[in-house]
Chains A and B, each alone.
Chain A
Amino acid sequence: NAGVTQTPKFRVLKTGQSMTLLCAQDMNHEYMYWYRQDPGMGLRLIHYSVGEGTTAKGEVPDGYNVSRLKKQNFLLGLESAAPSQTSVYFCASSAGIPEAFFGQGTRLTVV
C-alpha cells in the first residue's frame, strides 16, 4: 500500500530557480491538497483540487501553481523560488471529509 507518495523528499534551491513537487495517490481519491508547515504554525493550505482537471486556491497560494491532469497526481510548482518558501510541504488526499491521508513531506530549502 503506497498511499500518498511525495517526490522529492528533500531539495535545496537557489533563489529564482523553479521546481515541481509531485504527489501521487493510489486510493482513487477525488480530493487532493498541498500544505506547507512552518515552525510554530499549523499546516496551511496552499492549493487544493476536488477532482481531475480542477484546482482552487487555498489560504497561501501566492508564488505557487498547481495542476491535476490525472486523478492520481497533483503537482505543485514554484516558478521563482524565494527564501520565504523554505518550508516542509505536505500533500494529502481524501475521498471527502473527514478523513485525509498525508504524504511523508518534502523539505525544501531556498537559499
Chain B
Amino acid sequence: KNQVEQSPQSLIILEGKNCTLQCNYTVSPFSNLRWYKQDTGRGPVSLTIMTFSENTKSNGRYTATLDADTKQSSLHITASQLSDSASYICVVSPASSASKIIFGSGTRLSIRP
C-alpha cells in the first residue's frame, strides 16, 4: 500500500533556530513530491514541488530535498520565525494516477519566542 510517513509528529523550537522535517514514502513510481504549509484553520498552501528527477528545491527560507533511492524527503527551515508555526504536510503523487495523491499526516511545528 502506498504510504507517506512524516516525522516527527510535532516539534517545538526557539525562534531563530533551524529545523528539519522528514518524509518517508513508499509510493513508486511517483510523479512529484510536494510540501505544503497549513496554518491553523486554513487550507494547505504549496511551498515546494519536486519531480522525481530533482534533488532540491528552495522557497525563501524553506529548502526541500529529495532522495529517490532511499525514498526520503526533508524540509529544512532556516532562521525560523513565529509565522512558521504551522503544520507541514508532505504529499506524493503516484505516476499512475493524477488523482490518487497521498497526503502525509503532517508535522506540527511550533516556534517559541
What is A's interface to B at a CB cutoff of 8 Å? 4, 31, 33, 35, 40-45, 48, 50, 56, 58-59, 90, 92, 96-105
Q: How large is the interface on B (under 10, 10 to 19, 20 to 34, 35 or more residues)?
A: 20 to 34
Decide: A100 near B103, CB < 8 A? Known: A31-B98, A42-B4, A105-B41.
no
| In the complex, the 4 A-B pairs of residues with the closest C-beta atoms, listed nearest first | A102-B43, A42-B103, A98-B32, A43-B103
Residue from the list B4, B31, B46, B104 in contact with A100, Cβ < 8 A: B46
Cα A98 to Cα B91 with chains together (Å): 10
What is B's interface to A at a CB cutoff of 8 Å? 4, 31-32, 34, 41-46, 49, 51, 89, 93, 98-106
Chain B neighbourhood of A48, CB < 8 A = 99
Interface centre among A33, A58, A59, A98 (most CB of B within 10 A): A98
Residue on B nearest A104 in the bound complex, by CB:
B43
